[in-house]
Structure 1
Amino acid sequence: MPRLLAFTLLLCVSLGAQADSYITRLLNKPVPGGVAVIDLGNATQPPKALYDGKPVLVVREQQTWRAIVGLPLTVKPGQQTLSVGGQARSFTVGSKQYPEQRITLKNTRQVNPNPADIKRIDAELAEQLRAYRSFSPGTPSNLLLDKPVNGPLSSKFGVRRFFNGEERNPHSGLDFAVPAGTPIKTPANGKVILVGNYFFNGNTVFVDHGQGFISMFCHMSKIDVKVGDNLTRGNVVGRVGATGRATGPHMHWNVSLNDARVDPAIFIGAFQP
C-alpha cells in the first residue's frame, strides 16, 4: 500500500506540473486552426519534431521541452501524430465551428481574376509559401505576443468568406479596425524575410520570429522595412492601409507555425473556443 500511495502521489505531481505549464495554459488549443502543445521530456538536447513532414517549433520551459504545433484549418478532428526523433507521438485534435462572413466587392476581378491575374497570383502564392515554410534556428523572444495595433477586431480568424456570394478561402488571420496610417508593430523580435505588393494582400511584410513561427502583415499603405532587417519587439514594420483585396483600411495579421496558418488570438490571450 505505501508503494501504491507513493506512485499515486508521484503521478499527481507529474500531472499537476504539466497542467501548471504556462506555455500549455497559454497556447494549447488543439482544434483546426489552433495549436497543440506536446510534452517532449527533459532530454539534454532539444528533440527534433516533425508534423506532417515539416519541422516544428520546440522550446524549453524550465527543464521540459515542449513542441508548439500549428494545426491547419483543414485538419480532421481525432488522432494526429507528431514524429519525435523518428518515434510517433499521438495527440488528439478537437472540433471547432467557424462562422460565415459575406462581403461585397465592386472590383469583380478580386473575386474572379482574369487569366493574367491568375498567372500573377500563382507566382505570388509560390513566393509567399516559400516564406511560410522557412525555418530558422533561433528561439522566439516571446510566445505571448503583443497586438500589432491597438483597436477592435473587425474580422476573426477562420471565418468562412463569401465574396459577392461565392465562397473563397477562409479568413487566415485577424483584422483590426484602425485608421489608415496607424503604425503596425512587430509583436516579437524577428527578421524580415519577405516584402512585396501582391494581388490579394497588397503591401505585405513577413517577419520570421524563429523556428517556423512567422507573422505576416498585409493591406498596408506603406512599408517601413526591407528584407534582411532585424527587428526588436515593438519596431514599426509599416502603416495600415487598404491595398489589395480590401473594402477599407484595416490591419490584417497572420500567424503561421510549421506552415500552418493558426489563430493569432491564441497568442494575445483572446482565443474563443
Structure 2
Amino acid sequence: MNTALDRRRLLQWMSLTAGLAAAPAWAAKPPAADGQVWPQDSRVPGGVARLSLGPASARPRLSYNDAPVLVLGDMIEWTALIGIPLATAPGDYRLQLEADGRTSEQLLTIRDKQYVEQRLKVSPKTVDLSPEDNARYEREAAHLKTVMSSLVQPLPFGDSLRMQVPVPGRRSSSFGLRRVFNGQARNPHSGMDIAAPTGTAVKAPLPGKVIDVGDYFFNGGTVWLDHGGGLLSMYCHLSRVDCKPGDMLQTGDAFCRVGATGRVTGPHLHWSVMLNRAMVDPALFI
C-alpha cells in the first residue's frame, strides 16, 4: 500500500469482512489504469450521475423519479448510477436513501447542458401523421411503455458497464440533438445514430437478455436488450433480426443487421441506452 488512504481502506475492509463471504461477482471493480470508469459521470440532462453512497453491510436502496436506481459495489463502497432524463431542469434534487435500516438524504446537483438544435424544411407529409398512422403510433407507444419499464434482470450480468460499440461506422447523429421541422419542435434525439451499410452485423455491447422484438412505425425493425438493474438498450431501423425474446446474449454476439426500416432517409443503426427509465447518452458508456 502506498498511501494512508490505501491503508485505511484495507483496515476497513478487514473489519467489515471478518467472518463474511467474499464480495460477489457483481461487486464494482477498480478504475482502469487511466482512471476511466464507465459510465462516465455527467450530471446533466441526458447524463448519468455516479453518486457515492459510502459503506453499508448490504446493498442500499435509492430511487429517482419513482424508479429504482442501479446500485453497484461492495460493503466498502457502494455507488449509485442514476440516469437523468433529458427534460430534467437544472438544480438540486434530494433523494431518499435506505441503508442498514436507516433513511437519509442524498443531494444530486444537475447542471445545464445546451444540445445542438437543427432546423429543417421538409414536405408536410413527412411531419404530419395520417389518422391511421397516428393510431398505429399510439398503440405501439403504449406497448413500448411497458417494455421501457422492464426490470426483468435484477442486476447486471457482468462486473463492468463499459460497452462495446455495437456496429462500426461514422456517428451520423448524436444524442440530444433537437430537430425543428417546418417550425415544429420535435423531441430531442434519444440515442446515437451510426451510419453503416444495410446488412452490417449489430453486436451486443454488453451481456443481456432479449426482451422485445418488433416492427414499429418510426423505429422500423427493433430489438430491446435488458442488461440488468434497469439498464436497457434499443436497436432500431434493422433490416433483419436474428434473435427472439428470451434469448441470452454475450458481449460481441451478433443478433441483428443494420437497415433503413421505419421513418428514415438511409441505412444506419439507431442505438439508445436507458437507465432507471431515462434515455441517456450512449457515449458515456464507451
* TM-score normalised to structure 2 length: 0.82
Structure 2: 5+ residue runs without aligned partners? Answer: 10-29
Q: Which amino acid aligns with 1:158?
A: G
| Structural mapping, 1:21-60, within 5 Å | 26-60=39-73
Rounded to whole Å, the distance in 2 between the matches of 1:162 and 1:184 is: 30
Query: Does the alignment pair 1:92 with 2:109?
Result: yes
User: Is the partner of 2:107 in helix, strand or coil?
Assistant: strand
| Structural mapping, 1:115-134, within 5 Å | 115-134=131-150
Query: Does the alignment pair 1:114 with 2:130?
Result: yes
Rounded to whole Å, the distance in 2 between the matches of 1:152 and 1:125 is: 29
User: Is the partner of 1:116 in helix, strand or coil?
Assistant: helix
The Cα shift of 1:42 comes to 1.8
In the other structure, the counterpart of 2:95 is 82
What do residues 60-119 of structure 1 show as CA deviations (whole Å, max 9, x unaligned)?
16831111000011111110122211532111111110011245655x544111222222
In the other structure, the counterpart of 1:3 is none
Rounded to whole Å, the distance in 2 between the matches of 1:197 and 1:184 is: 17
CA RMSD of aligned residues (A): 2.1
User: Is the partner of 1:215 in helix, strand or coil?
Assistant: strand
User: Is the partner of 1:39 in helix, strand or coil?
Assistant: strand
What do residues 209-265 of structure 1 show as CA deviations (whole Å, max 9, x unaligned)?
001100100011111111110111111121111111111001110000001000001
The equivalent position to 2:201 in structure 1, one of 161, 174, 183, is 183
User: Is the partner of 2:166 in helix, strand or coil?
Assistant: coil
Rounded to whole Å, the distance in 2 between the matches of 1:117 and 1:103 is: 22
The answer to whether the 8 Å contact 1:217/1:254 transfers is: yes
The Cα shift of 1:128 comes to 1.2
The answer to whether the 8 Å contact 2:57/2:75 transfers is: no
Higher helix share: 1
Rate the CA distance shift 1:158–1:61 in 2: closer, same or farther, 3 A: farther
In the other structure, the counterpart of 2:76 is 63
* TM-score normalised to structure 1 length: 0.86
User: Is the partner of 1:95 in helix, strand or coil?
Assistant: coil
In the other structure, the counterpart of 1:73 is 86
Rounded to whole Å, the distance in 2 between the matches of 1:81 and 1:31 is: 15
What do residues 171-210 of structure 1 show as CA deviations (whole Å, max 9, x unaligned)?
0000011111111111000000011111110110000000
The answer to whether the 8 Å contact 2:155/2:229 transfers is: yes
Rounded to whole Å, the distance in 2 between the matches of 1:87 and 1:123 is: 41
| Structural mapping, 1:119-198, within 5 Å | 119-135=135-151, 136-141=153-158, 142-198=160-216
| Structural mapping, 1:186-265, within 5 Å | 186-265=204-283
Q: Which runs of 4+ in 1 moved over 4 A?
A: 20-26, 103-106
Q: Which amino acid aligns with 2:188?
A: P
Structure 1: 5+ residue runs without aligned partners? Answer: 1-8, 15-19, 269-273
Rounded to whole Å, the distance in 1 between the matches of 2:257 and 2:79 is: 35
In the other structure, the counterpart of 2:25 is none
Q: Which amino acid aligns with 2:206?
A: A
Rounded to whole Å, the distance in 2 between the matches of 1:61 and 1:122 is: 43
Aligned residues: 252
Rate the CA distance shift 1:186–1:109 in 2: closer, same or farther, 3 A: farther
The answer to whether the 8 Å contact 2:38/2:284 transfers is: no
Which deviates further from its counterpart, 81-90 or 213-222?
81-90
Rounded to whole Å, the distance in 2 between the matches of 1:182 and 1:61 is: 39
